[in-house]
């Protein structure tokens, strides 16, 4: 027996007009680029979600309150952990005399293309060029050399929250690759190598907690190859993340500098036996790039997706007004707003905007949880919770709103982290040959392949794959024996993660 066709009610002119209006509102407000077109999508996200703006200086961006408040939270969470571990904050000048910068040859060579110089003030040319801080070793370590005299002056563990300038690149990407960025810049000095290396474990734990527990980001921590390490360091370790387009992003970094800078800047101390020794040093950092990493990994075609613990406002309350019981609806919405003050809620009581427009706007801006309340909800003594991450709706009684908001926000936080980890693992594939790696890179993934420790082979790999570099050594994928470098064929030194990156 044929099914009886159920006719849909015909749309009235008023309904069609409202639908057209809401579609137009969404088009004007929302993103028009797909996430696959990453550059355009990310640019629209930055501008339309009111996070940042371009400035008149190429490669330098304006952090608007929406993004700067996220940075403030990252600073706050890192800073409290730094201080608890014994690190103290300080500040050093941003201008570095050329004579100081040139003391450490390898360090200078690593940064020379990126350094911006001040050569003139007014009409007067300076007798010595001043570098605008690309990093602060050269301005901090002459002071360390004066302050450290005895083993009793150690350890000296100072951190700066500052900005740095690195000029030399062609294609700036807001948050991810800019000429000026904000970061923490930690510089520690110890009496022994063992103490210096132990600090690496402390910093690894701090950055891992902040990136996982607040930014909801799964990343892999790994040691750089000799070619890719920080200029002047003995070794460099960094967190690494991967986008849907298969490109890698570097996160927080820890550099074990050994005694390289101590010898260049004459940082010595008398040990407990009265003998002169050079200190052992570390440097470490997390930057505003992590805002870009978080936005790029979590956000979607509707706009921002913010983990609740990092979101400045975790909840938005949207009263649905219809000229019926509007005052009662608003009164209840105000009561709910007050009861949820710990979640820094926004009450959207604008009467000039439709409910659909408000929904789209707050989805674009990434508010983790929306609370809808209208006349019908008022009759049922309930509200509707709508999750930003998956759009799931849930009716909740007035008496249970606060409890349920807390539970849902925690669930969103956990789910975003799980999704991040799953996405990372799906973007990694193991290979044994150069052809394997080419195929993996073409499929927009990271490859794990065997490589020797020669810089020439890393250069050749990058050329052959049109841009894939050695990201870090795959300590979790030990060689089993017999593996050969995918470039020169000699026994491999290790497996590496390889991929294109920002």
- Residue 187 reports pLDDT greater than 90: yes
Helix (H) or strand (E) holding 183: strand 180-190
pLDDT at 163: 97
CA distance 42 to 34: 9
pLDDT band at 104 (very low <50, low <70, confident <90, very high): confident
Q: Provide the 3-class DSSP secondary structure of residue 195.
A: helix
Helix (H, G, I), strand (E, B) or coil at 296: helix
> The domain spanning residue 477 has which CATH number?
3.30.110.30
365 falls within a domain = yes
- pLDDT of 222 reads 97
The pLDDT of residue 493 is above 90: yes
307's CB contacts (< 8 A; 6+ apart) are: 214, 215, 216, 294, 298, 368, 412, 413, 416, 417
Residue 475 pLDDT > 60 = yes
Domains: count for the chain: 3
Closest CA to 248 of 473, 418, 428, 114: 428
What would you report as the CA-atom Rg of the chain, rounded to the nearest whole angstrom? Answer: 27
| 32 vs 49: CA distance, rounded Å | 13
In a domain, residue 86? The reply is yes
Q: Are residues 136 and 98 in the same domain?
A: yes
Q: Indicate if 359 and 439 belong to the same structural domain.
A: no
- Please check whether residues 81 and 110 belong to one and the same domain: yes
Provide the pairing of β-strand 280-285 with 248-258. Answer: antiparallel
Pairing of strands 280-285, 180-190: antiparallel
Residue 228 lies in a domain: yes
Tokens 């050093």 label which residue? 92
Sign of the alpha-carbon dihedral angle for 79, 85, 91, 93: negative
Question: What are the CA-CA distances from residue 387 to residues 307, 384, 412 (Å)?
Answer: 11, 10, 8
Are both 196 and 338 inside the same structural domain?
Answer: no
Average pLDDT of the chain? 93
Distance (Å, rounded) from C-alpha 137 to C-alpha 144?
Answer: 10
Residue ending a domain, choose from 379, 408, 437: 408
pLDDT in tens, 131-147: 999 999 999 999 999 99
Is there a single domain that holds both residue 238 and residue 291? yes
Query: Do the domain assignments include residue 446?
Result: yes
CB neighbour list of residue 274: distance below 8 Å, 6 or more residues apart: none
Q: Can you give the CATH number for the domain in which 108 is found? A: 3.30.930.10
Does residue 25 sit within a domain? no
**142 lies in some domain:** yes
43-82 pLDDT, tens digit per residue, is: 999 999 999 999 999 999 999 999 999 999 999 999 999 9
Do 272 and 388 lie in a common domain? no
**Phi/psi-derived region of residue 374, left when phi > 0, alpha when psi is between -120 and 50, beta in every other case:** beta
| Domain match, 382 and 459 both | no
* Of 502, 432, 36, residue with least CA distance to 440: 432
Query: How large is the average pLDDT for residues 207-236?
Result: 96
Shared domain for 345 and 292, answered yes or no, is no
Domain boundary among 265, 297, 329: 297
Among 408, 439, 457, the domain-final residue is 408
- Using 50, 70 and 90 to split pLDDT, how confident is the model at 123? very high
Considering the domain architecture, whether residues 113 and 231 belong to the same structural domain is answered as: yes
Q: How far apart are CA 320 and CA 354, in angstroms?
A: 8
Residues 386, 461, single domain; the answer is no
Give the angle subtended at the CA of 75 by the CAs of 145 and 63, to the nearest 5°: 110
Residue 477 lies in a domain: yes
When pLDDT is averaged across residues 2-20 and rounded to a whole number, the result is 50
List, edge to edge, every strand of the sheet that includes 156-165: 88-89, 156-165, 180-190, 280-285, 248-258, 235-242, 220-223
**β-pairing, 268-270 with 180-190?**
unpaired
Q: What's the CATH code of the domain at 344? A: 3.40.50.800
Compute how many other C-beta atoms are within 10 angstroms of the C-beta atom of residue 2.
4
Give the tens place of pLDDT for each residue, 251-281.
999 999 999 999 999 999 999 999 999 999 9
Q: Which domain holds residue 87?
A: 61-297
Asked if residue 350 belongs to a domain, the reply is yes
Statement to judge: residues 324 and 452 lie in one domain: no
From CA 133, how far away is CA 101, in angstroms rounded?
10
Residue 327 and residue 270 share a domain = no
Token duo for residue 215: 């930014």
């Amino acid at each position: 027996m044929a099914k009886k066709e159920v006719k849909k009610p015909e749309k009235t002119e008023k309904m069609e007009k409202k639908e057209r209006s809401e579609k137009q509102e969404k088009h004007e407000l929302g993103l028009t680029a797909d996430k696959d077109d990453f550059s355009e999508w990310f640019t629209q996200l930055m501008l339309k979600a009111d996070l940042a703006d371009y400035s008149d200086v190429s490669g330098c961006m304006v952090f608007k309150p929406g993004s700067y408040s996220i940075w403030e939270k990252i600073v706050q969470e890192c800073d409290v952990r730094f201080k608890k571990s014994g690190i103290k904050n300080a500040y050093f000048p941003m201008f570095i005399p050329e004579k100081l910068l040139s003391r450490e040859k390898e360090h200078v060579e690593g940064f020379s293309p990126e350094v911006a110089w001040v050569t003139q003030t007014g009409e007067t040319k300076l007798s010595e060029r001043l570098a605008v801080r690309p990093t602060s070793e050269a301005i901090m370590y002459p002071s360390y050399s004066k302050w450290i005299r005895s083993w009793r002056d150690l350890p000296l563990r100072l951190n700066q929250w500052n900005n740095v300038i690195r000029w030399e690149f062609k294609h700036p990407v807001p948050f991810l690759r800019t000429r000026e960025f904000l970061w923490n810049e930690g510089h520690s000095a110890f009496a022994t190598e063992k103490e210096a290396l132990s600090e690496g474990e402390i910093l690894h734990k701090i950055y891992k907690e902040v990136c996982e527990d607040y930014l909801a980001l799964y990343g892999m921590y790994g040691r750089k190859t000799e070619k890719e390490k920080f200029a002047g360091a003995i070794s460099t370790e960094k967190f690494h993340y991967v986008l849907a387009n298969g490109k890698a992003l570097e996160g927080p970094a820890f550099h074990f500098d050994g005694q390289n800078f101590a010898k260049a800047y004459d940082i010595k101390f008398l040990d407990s036996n009265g003998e002169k020794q050079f200190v052992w040093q570390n440097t470490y950092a997390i930057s505003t790039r992590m805002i870009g990493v978080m936005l790029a990994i979590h956000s979607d075609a509707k706009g921002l997706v913010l983990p609740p613990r990092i979101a400045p406002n975790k909840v938005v309350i949207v009263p649905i007004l219809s000229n019926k019981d509007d005052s009662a609806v608003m009164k209840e919405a105000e009561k709910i707003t007050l009861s949820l003050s710990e979640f820094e809620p926004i009450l959207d009581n604008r009467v000039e905007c439709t409910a659909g427009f408000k929904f789209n706007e707050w989805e674009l801006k990434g508010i983790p949880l929306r609370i809808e309340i209208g006349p019908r909800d008022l009759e049922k003594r309930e509200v509707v919770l709508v999750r930003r991450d998956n759009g799931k709706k849930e009716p909740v009684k007035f008496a249970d709103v606060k409890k349920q908001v807390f539970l849902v926000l925690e669930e969103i936080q956990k789910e975003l982290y799980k999704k991040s980890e799953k996405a990372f693992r799906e973007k990694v594939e193991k290979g044994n040959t150069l052809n394997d790696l080419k195929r993996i890179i073409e499929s927009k993934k990271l490859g794990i392949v065997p490589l020797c420790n020669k810089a020439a082979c890393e250069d050749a790999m990058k050329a052959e794959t049109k841009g894939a570099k050695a990201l870090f050594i795959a300590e979790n994928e030990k060689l089993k024996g017999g593996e050969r470098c995918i470039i020169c064929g000699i026994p491999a030194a290790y497996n590496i993660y390889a991929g294109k990156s920002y």
